[in-house]
Amino acid sequence: MDPKSIDYFIFVPAYNVERTLGEVLSKIDESVLARAHVLVIDDGSRDGTAQAYERFMSSCAENARFEYFRFEKNSGYGAVVKKGLAEGIASGAAFVACLHGDGQYPAEKLGEFFAEMENCNLDLLQGSRHAIAGEAKRGGMPLYKRIGGAFLTALENLSFRVKLTDRHSGFIVYSSRFLKTLDLNKLSTSFDIDLELISIADARHFAIAELPIPTRYADEKSNLNVVTYGMRVLRQIWRRKILQ
């Protein structure tokens, strides 16, 4: 695809998501696809994720808008995000979005998020599952995640310039002008990379905002170690305080 024709770049972290990947990709609105390129990044899945992608492509009329990349060995969420961001920058797109392949985040809202980025001249826009009171509970978010997330977010808001309601959502859109300031090689290789990116944008006074999104939890298995993640979050808070 000619990079000049791309306004949006969407990368999809995909690890053992054979049951959800096709549905997630099918929910990306046609008006978004007309201006976008979508890269599915398979992080060494051990199930039928690759076959699920192939089935989706066989029924998709916009084949040129999709691409598949696979890490042969599981490399971790941070590596997937860095790959997605690097490819997004190289594509020449104005905005780069992360859309998880497990169905927890609303692909159908990408158009709204890209429009908000354009209309409000934003550099980072995060989807919040807590912006609407009670939404996380209604969507099935486990109690320990609601309590832990609220506690960590409260601590983070004491240190960060921009106050947000859900700093641990992975539904994020970035501007290319922000991404071009990063040294991707120095970013985390773990789940805290999203918070690290928000921290850098905050420290450098880029425009950050959030929009509400629905909460969607089913019976999927999380690959996140909550204790290790919590410690990494505290480290990011400390690093941000040093930058102040």
For the chain, helix, strand, coil in percent to 5 are 45, 15, 40
pLDDT for the residue 229: 57
Question: Tokens in use for 235?
Answer: 């480290």
In angstroms, what CA-CA distances link 191 with 46, 151, 236?
20, 18, 12
pTM summary value: 0.86
pLDDT value for 242 = 41
d(CA 159, CA 187): 20
Q: Look at residue 223 in the predicted model and tell me its pLDDT.
A: 54
Rounded to 5 degrees, φ, ψ at 5 are -90, 0
pLDDT at 84: 98
Q: pLDDT tens digits, the chain, 244 residues: what are they?
A: 444 479 999 999 999 999 999 999 999 999 999 999 999 999 999 999 999 999 999 988 766 799 999 999 999 999 999 999 999 999 999 999 999 999 999 999 999 999 999 999 999 999 998 876 777 667 777 777 777 777 888 878 888 889 999 988 999 999 999 999 999 999 988 888 999 999 899 989 999 999 999 988 765 555 555 556 556 666 666 565 444 4
**SS3 label, residue 124:** strand
Q: How far apart are CA 9 and CA 205, in angstroms?
A: 23
